[in-house]
Amino acid sequence: MEQKDWITVPVLPCKTIGETLAFWENLGFAITYRQDRPYQYGVVERNGHQLHFVRVKGAEAGYTGCLMMVQNVEQAHTDFCNALKVGLGRVPHTGVPRISRMKPGQSRFTITDVSENAVIVIQMGEKDQVEYEDADQDTLTPLQKAISLALRLRDFKEDHPASAKVLDMALAKTGEHETAQEKAKAIIIRQELARVMEDHAKEKECQTVLSTLDIPDEVTEALRRQHIWG
């Protein structure tokens, strides 16, 4: 194997090294290094991925993180959710720590550890970039573009309120050129956002509007399977 001349090792801050290493160990990572003096430092590793942490005294919580590229992002999400359920008794989607929701076919998710480091786990290949750029296509109808933008805000930025706002504005302006299936797709995504944000009135409203669309039940169910988080 060719010896590398340079190696770059990004280091993430943590509040306490013990709690942070224990969190990642619970997710299936192995602790490969730990030191407590003269400063706290530790390393965890899984499938060739290393995460380095250092305790920063007096540091306030802020956005730090890194990307982790994997061959099977859905399996990684399932593994992490199962580990969190065993370790915490639940799968947290809000607060700290937490893991973002993931629908079938999605190309990424984010896990935020006990020190508020955000590790974005991404499917290897071009799918992630293609999904992000989907909203930039010139051939999309206004509603299709709004759906793509809403998914970008939801899946890539975890900004559920902004995603919901985009869909609300688009659905209020839909014209005859938009198909019933595209309208149903937008409504189902909006309904799921309402469920996650615990806006029960909006969730019920979406269901009422959805029931007025003239599309087969099997099409509606297929859209639900595609766009509702597990």
- pLDDT of 230 reads 60
Question: In the prediction, which pLDDT does 139 show?
Answer: 83
**What's the rounded mean pLDDT across residues 213-217?**
92
Confidence band for 32, pLDDT divided at 50, 70 and 90: very high
For the chain, the C-alpha Rg in angstroms (whole number) is 21
Tens digit of each residue's pLDDT (9 = 90 or more) over 194-212: 998 999 999 999 999 999 9
**How confident is the model at residue 135, as a pLDDT?**
64
- Going by C-beta distance under 8 Å and a sequence separation of 6 or more, which residues neighbour residue 138? none
Q: Please, what are the domains in the chain?
A: 11-123 (3.10.180.10), 127-227 (1.25.40)
CA distance 61 to 54: 14
Q: What is the mean pLDDT of residues 74-100?
A: 94
| Residues 6+ away with beta carbon under 8 Å from 115 | 12, 13, 14, 15, 19, 20, 53, 61
Tell me: pLDDT of 61 over 80. no
- Evaluate whether 106 touches 155 at the Cβ level (below 8 Å): yes
Question: Given this model, what pLDDT does residue 13 score?
Answer: 92
Whether the predicted pLDDT of 62 surpasses 80 = no
**Percentage, residues of the chain above pLDDT 70:** 95
pLDDT at 225 over 70: yes
- pLDDT confidence of residue 3: 66
| pLDDT tens digits along 98-148 | 999 988 788 899 999 999 999 999 999 877 777 767 767 778 889 999 999
**pLDDT at residue 1 is higher than 60:** no
Give the model confidence (pLDDT) of 140-170 as tens digits: 889 999 999 998 888 888 889 999 999 999 9
How many whole angstroms separate alpha carbon 117 and alpha carbon 77? Answer: 17
